[in-house]
Chains A and B, each alone.
Chain A
Amino acid sequence: MSKKSFREAINEALRLEMRRDPRVILMGEDVAGGVGAGGEQDAWGGPLGVTKGLMPEFGRERVLDTPISESAFIGAAIGAAATGLRPVAELMFIDFMGVCFDQILNQAAKLRYMFGGKATVPVVVRTMYGAGFRAASQHSQSLYSIFTHIPGLKVAVPSSPYEAKGLLIQAIRDDDPVIFCEHKMLYDDVEEVPDEAYAIPFGEARVRREGGDATIVALGRMVKFAEQAAAELAARGIECAVVDPRTTSPLDEETILDLVRASGRLVVVDESGPRCGMAADLAALAAARAFEALKAPVAMVTPPHTPVPFSPALEDAYVPGPAAIAAAVLRVVGAA
């Protein structure tokens, strides 16, 4: 056990699984850096240094710098998975899914089903998402809801270093394709993380805080904002449960419904857009399965239905924060 950053936790998960299983390989743009050039080797470790140090330990055979063609290397990773490897491919920004979506949507997600279970595609696509990085509309979206929509994919949205390590290890050991979504504003968050390998099973929410007045379900970076809001509300005598689903597919409906039934009030916090996103999905879940328990309309805290603005002032206003979450809780408990 020692304190590790989100970045270090992911690096450690990759390292431990690569040591454990020779079939695990990495692919992506500059996941090492320096291939084919005379300069510094392992110069990058990906754009934010997450995979740095892995090429020197495992070599170019297992840590592959790829050309800047997502359609090529995501497709190659899926093919390699279908033929016996367990590739972890880095789709630098989730926004780039557009150029490799057929490979994910129609190949990775469908092969096991279409071959009657005789084929598996144990690929992991690690990808960065989220606003706050001053990276404009094409590098800031939270598109995990789109992957969640597709049967055959599993989708993990870790909220902290501990969760990131355990969920990534599970993703690599899982026989299905997993889209592993890393919020770029979480990489420097630090917490105690065991040194050993551990796998967090998919489809089990973590209840991070208990409280009977309202239930807040939050994803990814929004989890810590929800916890901050809950702490502030507790000082005012309002006790909120905070639930992190950890994976959006599969989704731990039972834990969420248990808590909604107990409190009668649900606030969902989702950085993906308000239309056809996780917030709408969770609101529908509560309305369909716990309607009799609801004492107030479900509150959805999401960004507006717009592209992520490049203006820093507008981007800051775009991202939901603790204040918006607290305001939503006050609305559903009838205190605002």
Chain B
Amino acid sequence: MAGAIDAVTMPKWGLAMTEGRVVAWRRAEGEAIAAGAELVEIETSKITNVYEAPVSGVLRRCVARVGETLPVGGLIAVIAEAGVAESEVDAFVAEFNARRAAASPARAEATPAAPQTLPAGGRRMRYLRMGAGAPVVLVHGFGGDLGSWLLTQPVLAERFEVLAPDLPGHGGSTKEAGDGSLDFLASALADLLEALEMRRVHLVGHSLGGAVALKLALQRAELARSLTLIAPLGLGPEIDAGYIDGFIQANRNRQLRPLVERLFANPAMVGRKMVDEILDYKRLDGVAQALKTIAGAVCNDGRQVVALRPRLAEIVVPVQVIWGEADRIIPAAHARDLPPSVAVHLMAGAGHMVQMEKAIEVNRIIERFIGNVATQP
């Protein structure tokens, strides 16, 4: 009778998350579910997202009511084998809650990873590093920061050592963006990897960060073990220049929200806090200038001016491209006609922030890709 009983607990998406609200169940009590299946929709002040079952089994108990807010680590549901008695599930729930209540004040979230800063190449660079295994580097896009990977980094960190830096001009890094060019940003990233003694890494880049990752792989071929480009800049001339200009200028929640919503196929994912956090960042001295400089270096007159498509052929390590079909910033059509060696994943129902909007699928694609490369001799 000693079947496995597993707790499904409130996840921690991003550094600031302390609690989440259960919005809807995707599965009902009594259903058999596989690990990775979409289980429950959770809303935080920043983002609304689907949480997947951490293990396979039968969904025996939906502990949290719809509408209920739970702290990170709080019990949402119980998954157990079919043979486990109801009384055992009851006892499990009671014991879990009792143990949490007893430990609660001192528990302080088992030391969550915190961002660090260090001087690299004479610049202040902030980064968040977690996990162990093959080294992976996540490079955010224009106006983003390491938080752009809040649904990606903790999952990949279960198998890999994952570094998420803030590029110059972004997040907690220096607001000096040099000439704003991809060369500059790629060199700054190379300096950080050097300072952290990360010598051969799997590069994952989103949007502007995709172009930075690609540029780094071209500059320093020995650094890259693989390249995952998510809705990257540089593969075609089209871009929503109105978004770029509007993002630089917006200084109110009211102005910025519709722009941030344009990043998603489903704007309901965007919580008020996501917009407020971007505004807090944009209001730091130096950010507006940095963003203008970078935008000016990669776009001109409403078109992208960095053409990296012809240079993809120079990359000898495995390359994959992931794109949301409903991307309104950089069209998914840029994923067409790439060299045959490049694996292309088009995601239906996802916009530019595909790594957030289809986090479960994108995480799986990245894990499998890196896993395969990492096991090659």
Contact = CB atoms under 8 A, between A and B. Distances in A.
Interface string B142-157: 0000000000000000
Interface in A178-219: 194, 196-201, 204, 206-207, 209-210
A102 interface: no
A254 interface: yes
B172 interface: yes
A295 B280 CA distance: 34
B14 to A, nearest CB: 14
A196 B253 CA distance: 21
A210 B253 CA distance: 15
Interface in B216-257: 251-254
B276 A198 contact: no
B284 A196 contact: yes
A36 B45 CA distance: 54
Contacts of B45: 209-210
Contact of B284 (A197, A201, A210): A197
A204 B253 contact: yes
A210 B252 CA distance: 18
Nearest to B251: A201
Given A166-B283, A234-B69, A196 B252 contact: no
A198 B287 CA distance: 10
A200 B252 CA distance: 10
A20 to B, nearest CB: 8
Contact of A196 (B67, B175, B251, B276): B175
Interface string A244-287: 00000000001100000000000000000000000000000000
Query: Size class of B's contact patch?
Result: 10 to 19
Contact of A198 (B67, B252, B284): B284
A1 interface: yes
B69 A207 contact: no
Contact of B285 (A196, A201, A210): A196
B254 A254 contact: yes
Contacts of B253: 204, 255
Contact of B172 (A1, A198, A234): A1
Interface string B284-297: 11100000000000
B252 A201 contact: yes
Given A204-B252, A210-B45, A234-B69, A198 B272 contact: no
A196 B69 contact: no
Contacts of B175: 196
Contacts of A204: 252-253
B172 A200 contact: no
Contacts of A234: 69
Interface in B164-220: 172, 175
A1 B172 CA distance: 8
Contacts of B67: 237
Question: Which among B172, B254, B283 has the greatest number of chain A C-beta atoms within 10 A?
Answer: B283
Interface in B1-60: 45
Nearest to A162: B280
A198 B251 CA distance: 12
A194 B253 CA distance: 20
A198 B284 CA distance: 4
B272 A207 contact: yes
Contact of B280 (A197, A198, A209): A198
Contacts of B252: 201, 204
A263 B150 CA distance: 31
A325 B45 CA distance: 22
Nearest to B272: A207
A97 to B, nearest CB: 30
Given A199-B283, A204-B253, A209-B45, 10 more contacts: A194-B280, A194-B284, A196-B284, A196-B286, A197-B284, A197-B285, A198-B283, A199-B285, A210-B272, A255-B253
Interface of B: 45, 67, 69, 172, 175, 251-254, 272, 276, 280, 283-286
20 contacts: A194-B172, A194-B280, A196-B285, A197-B284, A197-B285, A198-B280, A198-B284, A198-B285, A201-B251, A201-B283, A204-B252, A206-B276, A207-B272, A209-B45, A210-B45, A210-B272, A234-B69, A237-B67, A254-B254, A255-B253
